[in-house]
Amino acid sequence: MVDRVFFYVLLPLPLVMLAAVIVYTARAWQTTTPRLRVARWCTALWLGAAAGVLLFARERVRNWADFDNAFAATVLIGAAALFVLAGFVMAAGALVGRSSRGAALCPRCWYDMTGLAEFGAVCPECGLRVDADADLVRRKRWPVLLALAVAIQLGGQFIYQVVRADNAGLASFVPTTVLVAGMYSLPRDSVLGSGSSYDTETLTARLTDTRTANWQRSWALAKALRAINATSSREDLIRAAAVLNRCRYDGEFKLDDWRGAIRSLCKPGPDAAEALSFLSDCYTRSRSVSFTYRFAPPRDAALSADELRPIVPDLLAHFQNATPRTPEWWATLQLLALCGDSCPELPRYLERRTLSDESDSTRASCAVVLAAISGRWPDAGFRLADAFGSMDSAEQIRLLTFLARNPTSDAALHDLFRAMVASRDPSFEVIGAGGLASSPATRCEGVAKLLMIFEEQRRLGNTDVWSLYPPIVRIPDDDASDELLARIQEAALRAGPDAQVEAMTVLASVGKLSPARNASIPPFFDLLSNVPDEPTASRARNLASDIRSAAQASVPRKYPVIR
């Protein structure tokens, strides 16, 4: 609040100073008394410099809430606001001045020169020679007092900037216009930020701030697009793609320009994770069947293979040299998964990493990707079988769980899921039923088996409502999801305290999946908010409020289209 008041107190000061510059310049132009004219020109120059400093300071006012000591920040900014306000009042008094009321007063010392020769008179008090009688009767102002007022205002600005410097460092004093102009020449740390809440002063952070002017954002976007279209250097492309990503650019890229940018980013050099991820997501959203899960198949496999064939060698070289499971590794792999026949080496590479990598997580990740693309490469299924046999039981369950949560048309996998349901092993039963429920061809069969398993768990007093969540995520608005939701709501009403909390958490997650669920879940929580148990009622009210807020605030991200 203090910061906002300070900002609006500071808002009119540069305008007042600029108006005073105009007044003093006009007076100096009209004055014929030499010493008086020089004094007015100097005052105009001093006020112009002060107006520039104040205008710069006003434009750079930013949030100070992260100051280490909030009380000290409040005191310092309050003192700065008082300094600026006092300087403003003093400057207003100095500018208004004092009326001579028709008397002939010396412009310098205000000695009463009534009765003396007005034209060409010399003040007997200070010796100032006055060459124009209008200078004797004009309103008298205090340039020295005005200069003191400006000094006090600048002192308040200095106090405020101490807080800002402690919060964001010297980078906060660089104007956004300078950062945009030097987007490709300034150090990387001043252009690219981490994206966290602590990053407030880099160019990418300022471009995502609503207080940044639209013309500055448009200028940065135009420079970034020119870099993409011209296939600039790798470093320039990294910066350009980051700017486009942070500004949520949703226009289009030409396919040749996009391929040139990907080829440049795949060359050895500094980290390009954000740039590669952004450009990879753009293509994947334009060409894949769905982006709700990773490695979805392409809508037109032949088209994607033809479009990606020219850059497959670059993608493979970068993928093999990238650190596994980093954003660059996943982004490159996401594009390779759409290559199809143009990249026959991918299954062999994934199998080799699954069998020989030292990291358990990398082996599991490669096996998961191999499973996701098994229907698109003729030999991928055999390589997956070889890799599966080399895994320990925990990795095997993780891989099977992934397969169960992604729709597949592979009849062999459907038979595998049915065998898992018939195994009478509780963990395999849930995985198998979930796998059948996630595929459109066997959804009804899978949901029926999943509900049967859930009822058996309920009779044994060991219900797991989270097992019903993945099939709802896959197709949230059909009749099968309605049946699954009915069982979760029943658990929320009748289960014990722990299971009730878990069921309410699942329902809250379901409530954010689609517009239909955004509308249907909150009324159920409204019903629960009237139960006698106050903790349950309070939790239900909070969850209903969260779902409604998420529905109002959710704006789907739009990505560029590849033409």
H helices of 184-323, in order, are 188-191, 203-207, 214-229, 234-246, 255-265, 273-287, 301-308, 312-321
111-120, 155-164, 378-387 — most confident range: 378-387
Which of the four pLDDT bands, split at 50, 70 and 90, describes residue 278? Answer: very high
Mean pLDDT rounded to a whole number for the chain: 78
Would you say residue 343 lies in a domain?
no
Task: With CA atoms as reference, report the closest residue to 502 among 490, 517, 491.
Answer: 491
Backbone angles phi, psi at 58, to 5 degrees: -65, -40
- Predicted pLDDT at 261: 92
- Predicted pLDDT at 101: 63
133-137, 292-296, 407-411: least confidently modelled range: 133-137
Would you say residue 412 lies in a domain?
yes
Residue 65 has pLDDT above 50, yes or no: no
Would you say residue 497 lies in a domain?
yes
Across 372-388, average pLDDT: 76
Would you say residue 419 lies in a domain?
yes
Residue 5 has pLDDT above 90, yes or no: no
- Predicted pLDDT at 62: 40
Residue 320 has pLDDT above 80, yes or no: yes
Distances (CA, A) of 535 to 7, 396, 450, 508, 540: 43, 40, 31, 16, 9
Contacts with 80 (C-beta within 8 Å, 6 or more apart), sequence order: 6, 156, 157, 159, 160, 163
Which of the four pLDDT bands, split at 50, 70 and 90, describes residue 69? Answer: very low
Would you say residue 157 lies in a domain?
yes
Which of the four pLDDT bands, split at 50, 70 and 90, describes residue 61? Answer: very low
Domain tally, the chain? 2
The domain of 492 spans: 392-514
> Are 36 and 128 a contacting pair, CB within 8 Å?
yes
Would you say residue 510 lies in a domain?
yes
Buried b or exposed e, range 457-476, using 16+ CB within 10 angstroms: bbeeeebbbebbbbbbebbb
Would you say residue 240 lies in a domain?
no
Confidence (pTM): 0.63
- Predicted pLDDT at 312: 92
Q: Which residue has the higher pLDDT, 373 or 166?
A: 373
Strands 121-122 and 129-130: antiparallel
Would you say residue 382 lies in a domain?
no
